[in-house]
Amino acid sequence: MKKECKAVREALAAGALTSGQPAHLFTCPECRARVRISHAWRGMPRREALEAASPVDDIFVERIVRSLRQDRRQRAVRRIQLAAAAALLFFFFAGAGHKVAASLAAGAEDAYAQLVEPAGIDTLLPN
């Protein structure tokens, strides 16, 4: 660290720049950045000023509460609709699956019965 840089940093810590330091700021980008950041921090409002309580309009609060209640109602209705749709799909596919399983079971029995006693082949063969 240069001697001039150390002097600028000490002046920043003390809160005042001397007359020879602005020339150094033109040549040293690190010190220039530190000075800009320091000035930006000093320009920011203090926490106490930001946390000052301001009165809240009652109409604003009522609108927010009404909006939250409406949003919750809409979500509940949407949840019920999705649950009903899921139940309908479940019962539809359960019924369709049962129907397919019943037809496959009957078809399998007929197929095994034809293996034991093939009706179509006897009619094709000569006596």
Task: With beta carbons less than 8 A apart as the criterion, state whether 11 and 21 touch.
Answer: yes
Local confidence band at 68 (pLDDT 50, 70, 90 cut-offs): very high
Contacts of 33 (CB under 8 A, 6+ apart): none
Domain limits, the chain:
3-50, 62-115
pLDDT in tens, 84-102: 999 999 988 888 777 766 6
Report the C-alpha gap between 8 and 22 in whole angstroms: 9
The one-letter amino acid at 58 = D
The answer on pLDDT for 110 being more than 70 is no
pTM: 0.38
What stretches of the chain show up as alpha helix (H) in DSSP? 3-14, 21-27, 29-43, 47-50, 58-116, 119-124
Q: Within its chain, how far is the Cα of 121 from the centroid? A: 67
The answer on pLDDT for 126 being more than 80 is no
The one-letter amino acid at 57 = D
In angstroms, the first-to-last Cα distance of the chain is 117
* pLDDT value for 19: 58
pLDDT in tens, 2-26: 777 777 777 776 766 665 667 777 7
